[in-house]
Amino acid sequence: MLEIRPCCENCDKDLPFDALDAMICSFECTFCAGCSESILKGMCPNCGGELVRRPIRPASKLIQYPTQAHRHVKPVDIAAHQIKLSQFKTVPSAQR
């Protein structure tokens, strides 16, 4: 089940369960769309996988299936990410 983390891992922006600008990778590393577009270029800095829009859990399900409360923030090493981006530019996500 998706954790639905409460904020962007890079800039700590609030990303409530119904945020339309929350982006996640397959491990649920979570970023705002701004960081995903401007810095990360759609690639997760932790696993190299794709960042896609997080689906919205209907509010009626939150009592039984609440969101994650812990704010996991770890600002991205932008220089290191630039290198990864150039290395992985032509490599399909599944082979990174």
- Contact set with Zn ion (CB under 5 A): 8, 10-11, 13, 25, 27, 29, 32, 35, 44, 46-47
Local structure of 43: helix, strand or coil: strand
Which CB sits closer to Zn ion, 47 or 61?
47
For the CB of residue 22, give the shortest distance to Zn ion in the complex, in Å: 10
What are the tokens at 58?
């209907």
Q: How much of the chain is in helix, strand and coil states, percent to nearest 5?
A: 25, 10, 60
Which of 34, 67 has the CB closer to Zn ion? 34
For Zn ion, give the closer residue by CB, 20 or 63: 20
3-class SS of residue 15: coil
